[in-house]
Amino acid sequence: MTHIRSEIIGTGHYLPSKVVTNDDLAKIVDTSDEWIVERTGIKSRRIVAEGELTSDLCVNASKMALKNANLKAEDVDAVIIATITADNITPAVATKVAAELGVKTGVPAFDISAACSGFIYALTIADNMIKLNQAKRALVVGAESLSKITDWTDRNTCILFGDGAGAVVLQAKEGKGTNADTGLLTAKIYADGSGYEQLKTTGGVSLTESTGKLWMNGKEVFKYAIPAMAGSIEAVLGDVGASLDDVDWVIPHQANIRIIDGVAKKLNLDNSKVIITVDHQANTSAATIPLALSEAVEEGKIKKGDLIALTAMGAGFTWGGALVRY
Ligand code: COA
């Protein structure tokens, strides 16, 4: 029997050039570099320039991913973008990005809204499209301009977020159906709407006819995140009969170093296997995982054949995990 797997054949990322340090934030809210580093592990974040749009971040990250995949935009037959900060409420930013890249007319392009879990949701959907032969090559992007919905007067939240984009190109590949095959081995996505009010924007189209700003019950989110993320890693490992010892790298959603450490502790995971970007990027929501993946590939940390576990948790609540043989 033929097994179709979605192989990651290119990764890319883009960060806006403007760096905002904790000291910069201490000038606008009552906080300090010491407090932010101790409670979150964040030292700085990137913020979009005036006029720089989420679509621009997507286009830059996608160009890098396509180049690394040795492909042109016209070779792609699906474009999926995970974001909660698209240029417009409608149309999907994916259509704009596809047009700017030169993706062929008729190729489906749409956005996924699952907050910080968005990239794992998008990856799952793209993988299913590939397995159903609805696409041979999919461009999957996670991108955010969270600075646009950040309440810059709220020290509880404004210290946590940043802007950026990461992208991968997936391609159908026939395999034997074993864990040695390269590609996405398995993915699981989840939601629990009882957490809806815990992390949200204070407004929305139907609620207030505006976007509102990010608001969060930090303690509740924190408590939920650790078991959800650890549990999703255990679930994807269980799915393919693998153990953490088989995993070369874990890329967790980058919200707070204490959440990441909590997940590692719960799993009894060696910290040296965990990719960290939260220190210099903060929480870029759907972008953190593809950003971290692309940076780690570029740095030569992640190599062909490595087994990578991805996990994320975010607003909704939503969460999920995936196992990728790179
Ligand atoms: N600088 C200084 N003090 C701050 C502060 C800041 N930026 N933000 C909050 N504080 C204060 C609080 O007002 C509180 O003061 P009080 O005791 O006088 O009321 C004190 O610090 C402790 O606040 P608390 O909320 O208990 O801190 P915490 O250790 O729980 O850390 C978060 C707060 C937001 C960092 C933490 O809850 C968190 O990371 N939650 C998850 C957030 C997240 O990543 N969400 C996205 C997931 S996708």
pTM of structure: 0.97
Separation of 231 CA from ligand 1 center, angstroms? Answer: 24
| pLDDT per residue rounded down to tens, the chain (326 residues) | 678 999 999 999 999 999 999 999 999 999 999 999 999 999 999 999 999 999 999 999 999 999 999 999 999 999 999 999 999 999 999 999 999 999 999 999 999 999 999 999 999 999 999 999 999 999 999 999 999 999 999 999 999 999 999 999 999 999 888 999 999 999 999 999 999 999 999 999 999 999 999 999 999 999 999 999 999 999 999 999 999 999 999 999 999 999 999 999 999 999 999 999 999 999 999 999 999 999 999 999 999 999 999 999 999 999 999 999 99
Last residue of a domain, one of 130, 152, 175: 175
**Co-location of 13 and 133 in the same domain:** yes
**Co-location of 234 and 309 in the same domain:** yes
**Co-location of 150 and 294 in the same domain:** no
**Co-location of 28 and 161 in the same domain:** yes
Closest residue by Cα to atom 42, ligand 1, is 218
| pLDDT given at position 313 | 98
- List the catalytic residues: 116, 253, 283
Closest ligand 1 atom to residue 312 Cα is 48
| pLDDT given at position 11 | 98
**Co-location of 95 and 79 in the same domain:** yes
Separation of 160 CA from ligand 1 center, angstroms? Answer: 10
Q: State how far the Cα of 145 lies from the Cα of 134, in Å rounded to an integer.
A: 30
Residues of the chain with pLDDT > 70, as a percent, come to 100
**Co-location of 191 and 170 in the same domain:** no
Task: Return the residue matching tokens 């040695």.
Answer: 180
3-state secondary structure of 165: strand
Closest ligand 1 atom to residue 313 Cα is 48
Closest residue by Cα to atom 44, ligand 1, is 255
Last residue of a domain, one of 134, 149, 175: 175
Q: Where are the alpha helices (DSSP H) in 273-322?
A: 278-281, 288-298
Sequence-ordered list of residues with C-beta below 8 angstroms from that of 276, at least 6 positions apart, any chain: 41, 254, 257, 260, 292
> On the CB side of 249, how many CA atoms lie within 13 Å of its CA?
21
Q: Around Cβ 45, how many Cβ atoms within 10 Å? A: 31
Closest residue by Cα to atom 13, ligand 1, is 156
Closest ligand 1 atom to residue 315 Cα is 48
**Co-location of 28 and 54 in the same domain:** yes
Mutate to test the pocket of ligand 1, among 21, 33, 39 (most ligand atoms within 8 A of CB): 39
The CATH number of whichever domain residue 152 belongs to comes to 3.40.47.10
Closest ligand 1 atom to residue 219 Cα is 37
Q: What angle do CA 238, 267, 285 make, to 5 degrees?
A: 90
Closest residue by Cα to atom 11, ligand 1, is 156
**Co-location of 165 and 200 in the same domain:** no
Last residue of a domain, one of 126, 158, 175: 175
Which one-letter amino acid corresponds to residue 57?
Answer: L
**Co-location of 194 and 94 in the same domain:** no
Q: Which residues form the pocket of ligand 1, taking CB atoms under 6 Å from any ligand atom?
A: 31, 35-36, 39-40, 116, 155-156, 159-160, 216, 218-219, 221-222, 225, 255-256, 283, 314
Burial status of residue 170 (CB atoms within 10 A of its CB: 0-12, 13-18, 19 or more): buried
**Co-location of 53 and 144 in the same domain:** yes
Residues present in the chain in total: 326
Separation of 157 CA from ligand 1 center, angstroms? Answer: 8
Mutate to test the pocket of ligand 1, among 222, 259, 263 (most ligand atoms within 8 A of CB): 222
3-state secondary structure of 275: coil
**Co-location of 169 and 191 in the same domain:** no
CB 129 within 8 A of CB 67: no
| DSSP for residue 70 | T
Domain that includes residue 306, residue range = 183-325
| pLDDT given at position 175 | 87
| pLDDT given at position 286 | 98
Strand partners, 201: 214
Give whole-number Cα distances, 122 to 80, 94, 178, in Å.
Answer: 6, 12, 23
Q: State how far the Cα of 287 lies from the Cα of 31, in Å rounded to an integer.
A: 26
Separation of 156 CA from ligand 1 center, angstroms? Answer: 5
Please give the distance of CA 236 from its chain centroid, rounded to a whole number: 17
Separation of 30 CA from ligand 1 center, angstroms? Answer: 12
Separation of 218 CA from ligand 1 center, angstroms? Answer: 6
**Co-location of 161 and 187 in the same domain:** no
Separation of 259 CA from ligand 1 center, angstroms? Answer: 13
Closest residue by Cα to atom 34, ligand 1, is 218
Burial status of residue 17 (CB atoms within 10 A of its CB: 0-12, 13-18, 19 or more): exposed
Mutate to test the pocket of ligand 1, among 117, 156, 160 (most ligand atoms within 8 A of CB): 156
Give the chain's domain count: 2
